[in-house]
Amino acid sequence: MTRITGISLRRVLDSRGNPTVEADVLTESGGFGRGAAPSGASTGEYEAIELPANESIAKAREHAVPRLEGVYAGDQRAVDNALRAADGTDDFSAIGANSAVAISMAAAKAAADVLGAPLYQHLGGAFRGENFPIPLGNVVGGGEHAKEATHIQEFLAAPVGAPSVSEAVFANAAVHAAVADVLDERGVPAAKGDEGAWAPPISDAEAFEVVEEAVDRVEEEVGFEIRFGLDMAAAELYDDDREAYVYGDEAKSTDEQVEYVAGLVDEYDLAYVEDPLDENDYEAFAELTDRVGDRTLICGDDLFVTNVERLREGIDVGAANSILIKPNQIGTLSDAFDAVELASRNGYETVISHRSGETEDTTIAHLAVATDAGFIKTGTVGGERTAKLNELVRIADDAV
């Protein structure tokens, strides 16, 4: 019933206005699924390769589509193995991880369509957990996502005490609005960065004050605990030649960076710190995790790139206590599931994530529920972000 009979690939726009790959998968019994690849700006050195959309589509049409015809969409491993076999490399550099992930997600949706089940249920099974992920909402940002703003890439609201996913989603939007008020009171103009977060021309130190103030205001209003966290995207700050983390005119050695982040965790009671150190420095990651991992999540994004081999290395040395999962970093849903499973078996928290370049695709909302992830990072405002947040609200309301 779920046998694939056709795959169409096309170029569509992502949220930055760049071309990305969209895939449609059709099955024998009329099942239909559509998936679109997101795209990163602060990409990890070890990610699967994204090719220019046109090139990726041409290669996938030639090598992957013929292999996939006749494969059962309901057998996600078979679909993803066929994609790997068609590509023939370790990093999808032959057909592009953008076509691979679009097809992988579209096939899952086509199978769910045939089965008449919501995607999260098809992916997670009847006995998946009853939990919903806490949304981490980007409210202030800079780095590679906005010029002339903070050095730290993302300041993320974390409504850890929210009684429901819906209240958490609205709390993050309220923090985003409160940040605008605090900036306005300080006379700071602010545009928005790629993910819809405010991108004010202020120092990181002032951003901490602004976000703390905004979080406190909303916490008082809603009556449940809201903390905040960071994505430091430190690989982008690290200068290999200087062997230092460069914040404008200031540079920090690795020891100073560990000290700085540990201090921030305590001063602001941070719930979450992603990529606080360079993607090649497992040792410094382990040192920081040893110091503060009992009271905050130290999450590897560029460090692990959703890759089980890199995660295994990290687990061996105690590099972190959580992993960011981005399906397009590795190329298929099966690979993303493998990373989640390895993480969970080793007590690592999982955080399912969007990319800075996104589409209206809502697969990651379903993936987060299917895998019982503790958190989802998918922005706060903006159509491509609210597409996922609103889908989460619908899933919680049994309305998908």
Ligand X SMILES: C=C(OP(=O)(O)O)C(=O)O
> Where do contacts with ligand X occur on this chain (CB under 6 A)?
40-43, 144, 231, 233, 301, 353, 355-356
Question: Residues for the chain: how many in total?
Answer: 400
Residue 63 marked ligand-binding: no
Both tokens of residue 367?
A: 């993936």
349 is catalytic: no
Among ligand X, Mg ion, none, residue 219 binds (CB under 5-8 Å by kind): none
195 is catalytic: yes
Strand, coil or helix: what is 136? Answer: strand
Residue 145 marked ligand-binding: yes
Buried-exposed string 185-224: b where 16+ CB fall within 10 A, e elsewhere = eeeeebebbbbbbbbbebebebbbebbbbbbebbbeebee
Catalytic entry in 22, 195, 279, 391:
195
The residue (of 147 and 186) whose beta carbon lies closer to ligand X is: 147
> Can you tell me the distance from the alpha carbon of 355 to that of 367, in angstroms, rounded to the nearest whole number?
15
Among Mg ion, ligand X, none, residue 152 binds (CB under 5-8 Å by kind): none
Helix (H) or strand (E) holding 35: strand 32-36
Among Mg ion, ligand X, none, residue 99 binds (CB under 5-8 Å by kind): none
Among ligand X, Mg ion, none, residue 95 binds (CB under 5-8 Å by kind): none
Q: How far is the CB of 39 from ligand X (least distance, A)?
A: 7
Q: Residue 205 contacts by C-beta under 8 Å, 6 or more apart in sequence? A: none
Among Mg ion, ligand X, none, residue 50 binds (CB under 5-8 Å by kind): none
Residue 326 marked ligand-binding: yes
> Can you tell me the distance from the alpha carbon of 296 to that of 289, in angstroms, rounded to the nearest whole number?
9
Q: How far is the CB of 13 from Mg ion (least distance, A)?
A: 23
Distances in whole angstroms, Cα of residue 235 to Cα of each of 79, 238, 301, 311, 321: 33, 5, 10, 17, 18
The residue (of 42 and 254) whose beta carbon lies closer to ligand X is: 42
Residue 99 marked ligand-binding: no
Residue 287 marked ligand-binding: no
Residue ranges in contact with Mg ion by CB under 5 A: 231, 274, 301
Is 50:56 a contact under the CB 8 Å cutoff?
yes
Residue 192 marked ligand-binding: no
Distances in whole angstroms, Cα of residue 251 to Cα of each of 74, 149, 152, 200, 354: 51, 17, 14, 22, 30
Catalytic entry in 326, 384, 388, 391:
326
Residue 238 φ/ψ, nearest 5 degrees: -80, 130
Strand, coil or helix: what is 89? Answer: coil
Q: Which residue of this chain has its Cβ atom nearest to Mg ion in the complex?
A: 301
Q: Residues marked as binding for (2R)-2-phosphoglycerate?
A: 153, 326, 355-356, 377
Q: Residues marked as binding for substrate?
A: 145, 154, 274, 301, 353-356, 377
Catalytic residues: 195, 326
Q: Residues marked as binding for Mg(2+)?
A: 231, 274, 301
